[in-house]
Structure formats: C-alpha cells, structure tokens
C-alpha cells in the first residue's frame, strides 16, 4: 500500500487553500462540507469564492503566498497553476509538519484526495494512488450505483440503537448477526422508502422478541416491477431485493434473464402455465404469496413492467393486507415507456401529442366496452396493452369513431429485448401488416402522430435474436393476448 487511507476530523480546524480559481473552489467546498475553517490565500479570487467570503464562510488573505500564512493551519491544499508557488507551499508545509496536497502533482503531496461517495455518516473513498484519477472516478460511479442513496439515513438510525443493542445482546457474534439482519432486511428497506418511524419500531420489536427468546422469522412480500425485458432497465432497488429474496414468484412476462438475477439459492416459482399459456388463477397466486410469507420467507413477487399498470398488483396486495403481511411495492418501467423509448417513438411531443393514454385492449367476453370517443382526441397518443388479438377491432373502432385511416400506428413486439420487432403502418394497414408476420407476444400497440417520429429517432438495434445470451427471451410470452377473440 503506497498510501494509508484515513479519515480526518477537521471540524473547526483551519485549512489553507492557496489559489483562488475554479479548482481551489472545488476543494474549498469539500473542506466546508467537513466543517473546517477555510483560509484562501490568493491575490484574486473567483466570484463564487467572493460570495462565500461575503457569507462569512471563508477568510481571504488577499496576497501572494508566503510561508507565514500557514502558521496554525491543520492542512493545506495548493491549487494554483504556478509551479513555483505550488513548490513553495509544499516546502513551507513540510517545514511546519502540515499535511500538504498539491493538486495534480503527487510528487509534492504528503496526502492525496480520494474520489468520494458521500452518504454521511457513511463515506467511501477510492484512490488509485494518483495513477489514474479517471479510473478512481469510474470506480466511484459504480459504487454510487451500488450504495443505496439512503444508507446515510440508515447509518444514523442504527447509531441511535447501538448501545441499546449492546446491552441486550451480550455475545458479539449474535450482535453481528442481528445487525446483518437489520441492515439487509426489511428494516433497511423501510428506511430506503422513507418509513424511518416504522423502521425504529421494527428494530425495537426485533430486540424485544430476542429478549423474549422468540426470534421467529417474519416473512414479507415485495411486489417488484421487473421492467419490460432488458435487465438493464431494472431499478437498483429491484435488483437488491432480488438478490436478497428467499423465493421469487414470477410469471410469463418477466424475462428469464431477470429471474436469473435472483440469489442463486433462491427458490423460483413460475405461476404461469407454459403450455396453455394461461396464468395460475389470481386467487391461487394471492394465497401462495400469503403462505410463503407466513412460512417466514422474504418473497419477491416479480412482475413485468410496473406492478400497478395492468399488473393486478393491487389485488395481490389486498390479500396481503387482509392477512397483515408486511409488503412494499417497487415500481418498474412500464412496457409503454420501455417499448416507446426503444422503438424511437416519444409518447408525447410538443408538435404532435399533449396527452397519452395507456389502455388495455383486452376486451372482456369479446365486447368492446371502451370509451372510443374519449380515445379519439386530437393530439393524443394511445398505447394499447394486450391489444394484439383484438387489433383488427381496435383499428376499426377508432376509424368508426372518427380517427383518420392514415393515423400512424405501430406494433412493438417483445420490446427492449433482442427479439424486439417494430411494425409501422397506419390504422388501415397495420392489421394486414401484422397478419402477414409471425408476431409473437408480448406486443404493444401505439397509435398517434408521434409514431412518424420513429423515422428520425430510431436508435435501438436489437441485434441477432439467436445470440445465446438473449436466446432465453424467446420464452417470454404474453399468453393473455392469445385468449382474446380476433
Ligand atoms: N405490468 C405490465 C403490463 C402487464 S399487461 C407493464 O407495466 O408493462 C401485459 C401486456 O403488456 C402485454 O400483453 C403487452 O401488451 C405489454 N407488454 C409487456 N411487456 C412488453 C414488451 N416487452 N414488449 C411489448 N409489450 C409488452
């Protein structure tokens, strides 16, 4: 190790920054975050620094650097573009035994500044020892995406329980297990979704049950949106929960590549019957979730897209509520957003559409009970979910209710995956185009002027569907569409 990483307490300590430019300003803002007193030494300073000075946040020594200005300082940073000045700052600091950093010149540094992920009080610092600051920044960016934004809040909450936990759980190993459970389980998730009060209560309950010796495992259900297909469109939270789950309950709309992201030894339960493409009756799924949670499992109910958009998520939750099972809902990118983006069709556009309607084309018992007049509105995009089997009728009804037969319309098949296909036409031609192709579910129908923008905005190349790493997506199917009358 060329450098020893340490964290300095600079609260109330005077730190000197030599230089008054943009780089100096960046360093100063960091030092201020650490609550230090900042002294800027420079003949001229940038307007941002002038402002800080006016606000009383920094002192300004309006002069060229001389060593005496470092007296009483705990740390110094040289951020000038004058090598001689930087060298002189280094030499003076050394004489006074003050840690010194000269920006972009490791040979003149007694300490170096890392890239930081700040979730105070949790702080992660990354350094390449000056070898490649860009690499350090890239690693930092990865960490940013891995460390939930609310870890700071979590750390603060935990700190208020530390001594209580120490008093209650005397054996260090058991204490560690307790904290691991809190930090990785539903209590942490409560903090992440802003329910700190509930998290407090839950920690206390956990402690009480330990004290009473009944540490029974409590189950919970996470209703998680898995997005439209491309695993990169998962949210951080969805991925984290998948990797913690004991059981993942999924159906046909979720790409197998996403199910694969679950913890290796998690049990996977498929609740769509592959052969006849009918889903397990909703009631059975609801009861299954209740049973799994009651057995003490952390259950991820993984749904395609967003659980609250044509996902029957609400129904599943109602059963959980009636059985007092704790749950959370994690939104996902719905098919309309995902498919539109990957097909190059903006759902709204100032020139073409001011509103956008998501509607199901799944017509119960073959009846068309949609409010067609409300749908046929100028400057409105209509997105039909589950609209493939009824496509002829959808198009015919729209025309019958006054929409022009030349209204652009598109069908997106298996959007966002390597199986994505987009068929474009208009209300009159789309059914014929689709009839000629071997269209596979799931598909989404987009109707509106915005469809013509695809000519300009198409960017996604699904590549070869035979690519082995994407091949599994061919199992994706929107069985519901097949049940519709055509
Ligand atoms: N909750 C889901 C929708 C479930 S309804 C969501 O928010 O996306 C099922 C319908 O969604 C399918 O019949 C199809 O119309 C649409 N759909 C879901 N994923 C799709 C995809 N990758 N490509 C095209 N359509 C999709």
Give me the CATH number covering residue 248.
3.40.1010.10
Residue 5 lies in a domain: no
Between the CA of 345 and the centroid of ligand 1 the distance, in Å, is 16
Confirm if 66 and 93 have CB atoms less than 8 A apart: no
Same-domain status, 284 and 369: no
Peptide bond preceding 163: is omega within 30 degrees of 0, i.e. cis? no
Checking DSSP bridges between strand 421-426 and strand 115-119, what pairing results, if any? unpaired
Contact 214, 304 (CB under 8 A): no
Cβ pair 261, 243 in contact under 8 A: yes
Distance from residue 358's CA to the centre of ligand 1 (Å): 11
Sign of CA dihedral 26, 27, 29, 34: positive
Residues 348 and 462 in one domain: yes
Within this chain, do residues 249 and 281 fall inside the same structural domain, yes or no? yes
Handedness of CA 351, 355, 357, 358 (dihedral sign): positive
399: its two tokens: 């025309």
Q: What is the pLDDT of residues 345-392, one digit of tens each?
A: 999 999 999 999 999 987 656 566 789 999 999 999 999 999 998 899
CA distance 98 to 58: 20
Question: Quick one: tokens of 95?
Answer: 């004489």
**pLDDT score of 22:** 94
* Pocket of ligand 1 from Cβ distances under 6 Å: 228-229, 253, 303-306, 309-311, 334-335, 339, 385-386, 412, 414-416, 442-444, 478, 480-481
95 tagged catalytic: no
CATH number of the domain where residue 135 is located: 3.30.160.110
Ligand 1, atom nearest to 417 Cα: 22
**Given this model, what pLDDT does residue 480 score?**
35
How many Å apart are CA 3 and CA 109, to the nearest integer? 11
Domain presence at residue 3: no
What CA–CA distance (Å, rounded) separates 340 from 352? 15
Give the pairing type, strands 75-78 and 100-102: parallel
Residue positions counted in the chain:
486
Whether residue 174 is contained in a domain is answered as: yes
Q: What is the rounded distance in angstroms from the CA atom of residue 213 to the CA atom of residue 335?
A: 47
Do 453 and 376 fall within a single domain? Answer: yes
Is the separation of the CB atoms in 428 and 399 below 8 Å? Answer: yes
Tell me, yes or no, whether 224 and 192 share the same domain.
no
With helix as H, strand as E and coil as C, how does 189-230 read?
HHHHCCCHHHHHHHHHHHHHHHHCCCCCCCCEEEEEECECCC
Atom 6 of ligand 1, nearest CA residue: 305
Kind and range of the H or E run holding 60? strand 58-61
Within a domain: 483:
no
Ligand 1 nearest-atom number relative to CA 416: 22
What CATH code is carried by the domain that includes residue 88?
Answer: 3.40.50.720
**How are beta strands 75-78 and 14-18 bridged, if at all?**
parallel
Query: Under 8 Å CB-to-CB from 182, ≥6 apart: which residues?
Result: 158, 188, 203, 206
Residue 420: inside a domain, yes or no?
yes
Ligand 1 atom with least separation from CA of 476: 22
The DSSP annotation for 423-447 comes to EEEETTTHHHHHHHS---SSEEEEE
Do residues 220 and 244 make contact, with C-beta atoms less than 8 angstroms apart?
A: no
Q: For atom 2 of ligand 1, which residue has the closest CA?
A: 305
Q: How far is the CA of 408 from the centre of ligand 1 (A)?
A: 21
Q: Within this chain, do residues 440 and 320 fall inside the same structural domain, yes or no?
A: no
CB atoms within 10 A of CB 374: 11
Catalytic residue among 230, 246, 251, 473: 251
Substitution site in 442, 470, 473 for ligand 1 pocket (most atoms within 8 Å of beta carbon): 442
Q: Which of 305, 330, 355 is the last residue of a domain?
A: 330
Task: Verify that 124 and 84 share a domain, yes or no.
Answer: no
Cα separation values, 394 from 120, 332, 334, 355, 389, Å: 54, 27, 21, 19, 9
Q: Cα(361) to centroid of ligand 1, in Å?
A: 11
Is 8 inside any structural domain? no
CA dihedral 234, 421, 380, 405 (to 10 degrees): -170
Cα–chain center distance at 395: 37
Q: How many distinct structural domains can be found in the chain?
A: 5
Q: In CATH, what number is assigned to the domain containing residue 469? A: 3.30.950.10
Is there a contact between 395 and 430 (Cβ–Cβ < 8 Å)? yes
Is 470 found in the same domain as 343? yes
Tell me the torsion sign for CA atoms 208, 210, 215, 218.
Answer: positive
User: Which residues of the chain have a pLDDT value below 70?
Assistant: 213-217, 273-279, 363-368, 464-486
Residue 77 lies in a domain: yes
Distance CA 267, CA 254 (A): 16
| Token pair recorded at residue 200 | 């407090």
Q: In the listed set 330, 363, 379, which residue is the last one of a domain according to the structure? A: 330
One domain for residues 403 and 457: yes
Tell me, yes or no, if 428 is annotated catalytic: no
Identify the DSSP state of 114. Answer: P
CA of 311 to the centre of ligand 1 (A): 9
Q: Are 40 and 100 in a shared domain? A: yes
| Residues whose CB falls within 8 Å of the CB of residue 155, separated by 6 or more in sequence, listed in order | 119, 121, 122
Task: Check whether residue 18 and residue 126 sit in a common domain.
Answer: no
For residue 395, which phi and psi values (nearest 5 degrees)? Answer: -65, -45
Query: Out of 166, 273, 294, 400, which one is annotated catalytic?
Result: 273
Structural domain including 124 reads 114-147
47 occurs within a structural domain: yes
Query: DSSP character for 308?
Result: T
Q: Give the end of a domain, one of 297, 330, 363.
A: 330
In Å, what is the CA distance from 55 to each residue of 13, 48, 49, 51?
A: 19, 11, 10, 6
- Tell me the torsion sign for CA atoms 178, 184, 185, 189: positive
- E strand or H helix at 162, and its extent? helix 162-168
Cis peptide bond upstream of 144, omega within 30: no
pLDDT of residue 244: 87
Predicted local distance difference test score (pLDDT) of residue 415:
96
- 430 and 343 in one domain? yes
């Amino acid at each position: 190790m060329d450098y020893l990483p340490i964290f300095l307490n600079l609260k109330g300590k005077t730190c000197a920054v030599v230089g008054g430019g943009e780089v100096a300003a960046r360093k100063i803002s960091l030092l201020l975050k650490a609550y230090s007193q900042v002294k800027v030494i420079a003949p001229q300073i940038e307007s941002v620094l002038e402002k800080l000075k006016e606000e009383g946040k920094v002192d300004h020594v309006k002069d060229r650097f001389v060593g005496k200005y470092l007296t009483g300082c705990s740390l110094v940073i040289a951020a000038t573009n004058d090598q001689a000045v930087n060298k002189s700052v280094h030499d003076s600091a050394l004489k006074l035994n003050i840690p010194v950093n000269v920006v972009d010149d490791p040979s003149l540094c007694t300490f170096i500044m890392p890239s930081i992920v700040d979730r105070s009080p949790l702080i992660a610092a990354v350094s390449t020892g000056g070898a490649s600051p860009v690499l350090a920044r890239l690693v930092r960016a990865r960490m940013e995406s891995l460390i939930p934004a609310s870890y700071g809040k979590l750390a603060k909450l935990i700190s208020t329980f530390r001594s209580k936990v120490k008093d209650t759980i005397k054996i260090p190993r058991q204490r560690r297990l307790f904290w691991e459970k809190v930090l990785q389980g539903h209590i942490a998730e409560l903090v992440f979704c802003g329910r700190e009060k509930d998290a407090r209560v839950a920690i206390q309950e956990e402690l009480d049950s330990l004290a009473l010796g009944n540490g029974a495992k409590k189950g919970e259900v996470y209703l998680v949106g898995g997005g439209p297909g491309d695993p990169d469109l998962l949210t951080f939270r969805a991925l984290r929960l998948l990797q913690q789950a004991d059981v993942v309950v999924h159906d046909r709309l979720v790409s197998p590549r996403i199910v694969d992201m679950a913890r290796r030894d998690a049990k996977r339960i498929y609740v769509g019957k592959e052969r006849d493409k009918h889903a397990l009756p909703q009631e059975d799924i609801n009861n299954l979730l209740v049973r799994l949670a009651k057995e003490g499992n952390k259950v991820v109910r993984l749904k395609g897209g967003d659980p609250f958009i044509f996902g029957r998520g609400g129904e599943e939750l109602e059963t959980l509520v009636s059985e007092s099972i704790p749950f959370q809902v994690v939104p996902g990118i719905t098919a309309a957003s995902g498919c539109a983006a990957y097909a190059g069709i903006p759902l709204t556009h100032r020139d073409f559409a001011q509103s956008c309607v998501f509607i199901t084309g799944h017509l119960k018992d073959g009846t068309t009970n949609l409010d067609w007049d409300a749908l046929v509105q100028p400057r409105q995009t209509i997105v039909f979910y589950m609209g493939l089997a009824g496509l002829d009728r959808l198009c015919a009804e729209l025309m019958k209710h006054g929409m022009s037969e030349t209204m652009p319309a598109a069908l997106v098949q298996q959007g966002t995956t390597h199986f994505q296909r987009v068929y474009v036409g208009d209300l009159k031609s789309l059914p014929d185009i689709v009839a000629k192709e071997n269209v596979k579910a799931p598909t989404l129908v987009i109707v509106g002027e915005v469809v013509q923008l695809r000519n300009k905005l198409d960017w996604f190349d699904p590549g070869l569907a035979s690519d082995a790493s994407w091949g599994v997506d061919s199992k994706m199917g929107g069985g519901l569409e097949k049940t519709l009358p055509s």
